Amino acid sequence: MKCNQTFSIRTGTIFSRSQTSLRSWFYLIFRWINTKYGIPSTDVSKELGVTLKTAWRMGHKIRTRIAKQEPQFILEGTVQIDEMYLSHMAFKKQGRSLKNKTLIVGIYEKTTNNLIVKVLKNAKSKSLLNFARSHISSKCHVYTDDWKEYCDFKLVFAKHKTVNHQDGYVSKTGVNTNQIESVWKHIRRTFKIHIKVAKHHVYLYAKEVAYKFNKIPSFEIVMLCLI
């Protein structure tokens, strides 16, 4: 700290320069921990007696700080990789077109149940490979669907097996992406609860889902992330 600057217990935390009481902040964090799909700003506004703008800003600060907690592990064993296209038109449009959609790619490790998600600009082979190589071991067995952009995975990882979803959810050899696809259902429910999310904030909500998925966060653990 430089001389003649104000310092308090809030300095350097998400509570810094906030007019909202710490009691309200702690209540929101407790609710955030114990709510599976997140808390709409409208509910926060009613429960804390603050404006909708203040309620949104409080939640946004929590998500922003949590999103900075990058996974500190490399996934091993068997992983499933898949993409979802979150439509900004009532969240119902299907297909791989990125018009009015945000691309979220996820990696799920079956043994440890660890999940890593990221928003990418495109789902081309190079982008998918770079994301995968930065988070999983080259010794991994990778399961994906049979989309053409995953073809180069066999050149990088120990094994790459695919499932054709037109034939069924599970291939004859037992290959599937069911677990990572169940995560997409969870993310869609989260976005429906929040009703409207700006496209440039989608990654924050996706990171929030992954953070809760990877651990059952205690109040102490979350507080250490936020301060």
> So what's the pLDDT on residue 90?
46
Average pLDDT, rounded, for the chain: 85
pLDDT over 60 at 143, yes or no: yes
H or E element, residue 145 = strand 141-145
Confidence of residue 166 (pLDDT cuts 50, 70, 90): confident
> So what's the pLDDT on residue 172?
86
> So what's the pLDDT on residue 101?
84
**Are 100 and 93 contacting, i.e. CB atoms less than 8 angstroms apart?**
yes
Interval 176-206: pLDDT, tens: 999 999 999 888 888 888 878 888 899 999 9
CA-based nearest residue to 184, from 36, 75, 83, 66: 83
Domain range summary for the chain, segments of one domain joined by +: 22-68+206-226, 78-196
The most confident of 87-91, 148-152, 222-226, by mean pLDDT: 148-152
Give the whole-angstrom CA distance, residue 164 versus residue 147: 9
Give the whole-angstrom CA distance, residue 204 versus residue 60: 8
> So what's the pLDDT on residue 217?
65
> So what's the pLDDT on residue 144?
94
What pTM does this model have? 0.84
Interval 47-58: pLDDT, tens: 999 999 999 999
> So what's the pLDDT on residue 24?
93
> So what's the pLDDT on residue 69?
79
SS3 letters across 28-61: HHHHHHCCCCCCCHHHHHHHHCCCHHHHHHHHHH
Architecture of domain 78-196: 2-Layer Sandwich (3.30)
